[in-house]
Amino acid sequence: MHFPTDRIVSRTGLPSFPVFEEGMVILVDKPLEWTSFDVVNKIRFAISHALGIKKIKVGHAGTLDPLATGLLLICTGKFTKQIDLLQACSKTYSGTFYLGATTPSYDAESEPDQEFGIEHITDELIAKAVVQLTGDIMQVPPAYSAIKIGGKTAYKLARRGKELELEARPVTISEFAVERKSAHEFTFMAHCSKGTYVRSLIHDLGKALGSGAYLTSLRREAIDIFQASDSHTIGSITDYIKEYAGLSRQNV
C-alpha cells in the first residue's frame, strides 16, 4: 500500500505542510490504558481546534485493547476511505504471557479463574504446540471482544454473566515464536492476518500444552510496512498539530 511521504506523519518524516482535511496518515504509539477511540478523539479535537473547524473525519485502522500499546494508524480527511484497506493488512505483535492459569478475558484485565499444573511442560512440547498454531488455523474470538451478537457487543454481554458461543473463524499465523523467561513467564512474537485475536492465540497455546495461559502484555510492532519504532507519542503529535496546522489554515 502506497501513501505519499508528505502525507505520512512519522518519526522519519514530519511534513512541513500537513493537509489534514485532504488526508494524512499518522503513526501513533498508543499509550497503555487508552482506548483506540481515546486516541482518535484526542487527535480529532486537536486538529479541529488548530484549524478552527467544527468537523473533520478521523479514524483508526485497527483496534488495540486498552491494555495493549504500540502502533495505531490514524487516518484523517479523505484518507479515512483507506481504513478498510489498512485493516486488511497483516500485523506483527510482541508480548508476554503467563502459563498455568486462565482468565475470563484471556488477558490481565480480569482475575484468574482457573489454575493448572505446568510440571509436564517441556521445551519440546512448547515447540510442538507453537507449530500446531502456525499457519492457517480456526480461531474462536474471546467472549470479551467487540464482536456483535444479535446487535449487542460481546464483551458487554460477557460482563453481565451471559454464556456466549462465538463461532470459529479462519485466520493465518505466518510466524509464531515463544521464549521461556521463567517457569510461568514467557515472551512471544506473532505475525498474523486480519481478524486474529492474540489473546485467543495465547489461550489456545495454553490448551494445546494441557494447561492454561493468559496474555499479560501486548505491543503491536507493525502493520504492513508501518513500524511502531517510527510512531510518535500522543503528546508529540498534538504538539505537531498545534505548531503546523496553522500553516494549513493560512495557505488553503
- Convert 29-76 into a string of H (helix), E (strand) and C (coil): EECCCCCHHHHHHHHHHHHHHHHCCCCCCEEECCCCCCCEEEEEEEEE
The three-point CA angle 163-169-172 to 5° equals: 135
Q: How far is CA 111 from the centre of its chain?
A: 22
Q: What's the confidence (pLDDT) of residue 194? A: 93
| 3-state secondary structure (DSSP) of residue 251 | helix
Q: What's the confidence (pLDDT) of residue 2? A: 76
Q: What's the confidence (pLDDT) of residue 165? A: 67
- For residue 189 the three cell numbers come to 512474537
Grid cell 460477557 in the structure block, residue: 158
The pLDDT > 70 percentage for the chain reads 88
Q: At what angle do helices 198-208 and 123-132 cross, to 10 degrees?
A: 130
Residue ranges of domains in the chain: 5-88+225-251, 91-223
Classified by CATH at the fold level, domain 91-223 comes out as: Pseudouridine synthase (3.30.2350)
Q: What's the confidence (pLDDT) of residue 246? A: 55
Q: Mean pLDDT for the chain? A: 90
The model's pLDDT over 30-56, given as tens digits with 9 standing for 90+, comes to 999 999 999 999 999 999 998 888 899
**What distance in Å separates the CA atoms of residue 88 and residue 144, rounded to the nearest whole number?**
22
CATH number attached to the domain at 5-88+225-251:
3.30.70
Beta bridge partners, 222, equal 92, 227
Residue 149 has pLDDT above 70, yes or no: no
The model's pLDDT over 152-201, given as tens digits with 9 standing for 90+, comes to 554 454 455 555 567 899 999 999 999 999 999 999 999 999 999 999 99
Does pTM surpass 0.85? yes
Q: How confident is the model at residue 141 (pLDDT cuts 50, 70, 90)?
A: confident
Beta bridge partners, 170, equal 138
Catalytically active residues are 65
The model's pLDDT over 105-128, given as tens digits with 9 standing for 90+, comes to 999 988 999 999 999 999 999 999
Q: What's the confidence (pLDDT) of residue 208? A: 98
Q: What is the mean pLDDT of residues 71-79?
A: 97
Range among 48-62, 89-103, 233-247 with highest mean pLDDT value: 89-103
- For residue 247 the three cell numbers come to 500553516
